[in-house]
Chain A
């Protein structure tokens, strides 16, 4: 299976404090890779390195390689704006912009593409359909994105991310603020989205990781302790720490 992303000896520092240690992780194309581990283990940091969003903050730096289709995205020659279009990100708390549903999705289109009004409309509709939201919002495209329910807001953010036509979607605990029904919809959507995108999802929900992901990486204290097929990790993990974590016997 071809790799979409690959971390090679990736290290990360907050100032002088190292938080990721020689991470090596293959991320297969059009698969869902779950990243699990206790709070503070470096899961979200790993995601933040992937689209270099960490560079928005001072004193943070990454070393090593992170390959996207074989090209090191940590290289200074990379166009960061284009990288972030190519690697979209969904956060724990839905983050719709304070604008209409339509404008939320149209925003990245205006930023990255020069499209006619009708093309923009088509792409917004496609993105909303892709995020399984179109039927629910087609009659209120001018309403504020903030007026939607939590689950709808999160799907709006997914629509906004996929409107930019990325190849990779990073999801940082995308359902932790949602009720079980909204969570179920997002999970179904993720399984649908992997037909088109490579997905990395950070989750604290073991059952969610087991249900939707193809591969799982277990992080502990900035080290990738174990990586493998999700079915194996959740039935027969090799490392004792992985077993202790997923069975709730940690610490």
Chain B
């Protein structure tokens, strides 16, 4: 039975890595589409989300099957639970990529008339970097990288807050372009959520590896 269980878990890991790679790619494509106002590219991101949704259902069914058939305990149980949770987070990442991509249609319609553009480069780079690292920490069972991701979350939160202040100021200054700035705020919010999800995945990795629940620890408490 152990041999079967290990093979089931390996299969599950492969499925999860496949879908995480798809979600990561979707976020990258959505961001590139935003930067270049590339509508066809944005449409591809939207179309690809069905694959991620289908993979989420399949992985969840596999996890439920493993829980019912093998009733895993200890490290095995933590592994299955982590995969179940990360699977759910990854599906959310796919949805956020779609949300970003949907903004591209509006932003493209504004053309180059926008007076002062918001610069997403740093936030995009940090949020995507966190997502990539969190997935790496899951793949390589690397709790140091997971801890690093968790420590980066505040930086993205700060950037989102800066974006909010920027948008508020510009909406007051250029009310005609309120639509553009609202789209910008939505994208900023999506990036901030992606960073949150990367943090959640990293916390799940620490739980999987060490059995410690590090969510909701206040500042100063040891993670």
Contacts and interface: CB of A to CB of B under 8 A. Distances in A.
A2 interface: no
B74 A243 contact: yes
Nearest to A250: B2
B2 A234 contact: no
Contacts of A248: 1-2, 5
Interface residues of A, number: 14
Interface in A207-251: 207, 210, 233-237, 242-243, 246-249
A235 B79 CA distance: 11
B77 interface: yes
Nearest to A243: B74
A212 B71 CA distance: 15
B74 A236 contact: yes
Interface in B18-52: none
Contacts of B2: 247-249
A235 B78 contact: yes
A204 to B, nearest CB: 14
Chain B contact-residue range equals 10 to 19
Contacts of A236: 74, 78, 210-211
Interface in A119-140: none
Interface string A32-55: 000000000000000000000000
B1 A235 contact: no
A236 B212 CA distance: 9
A217 B202 CA distance: 32
A207 B71 contact: yes
A124 B136 CA distance: 65
B143 to A, nearest CB: 14
Most buried by A among B1, B5, B72, B75: B75
B126 to A, nearest CB: 32
B72 A247 contact: yes
B73 interface: yes
Contact of A235 (B5, B71, B74): B74
Interface in B51-89: 71-78
A206 interface: yes
B155 to A, nearest CB: 31
A3 B96 CA distance: 54
A228 B131 CA distance: 37
Given A235-B211, A236-B211, A247 B75 contact: yes
A247 B74 contact: yes
Contacts of B77: 234-235
Contacts of B211: 235-236
A243 B75 contact: yes
A243 B211 CA distance: 12
Interface of A: 206-207, 210, 233-237, 242-243, 246-249
Shortest beta-carbon contacts, A-B, top 4: A236-B211, A234-B73, A248-B2, A243-B74
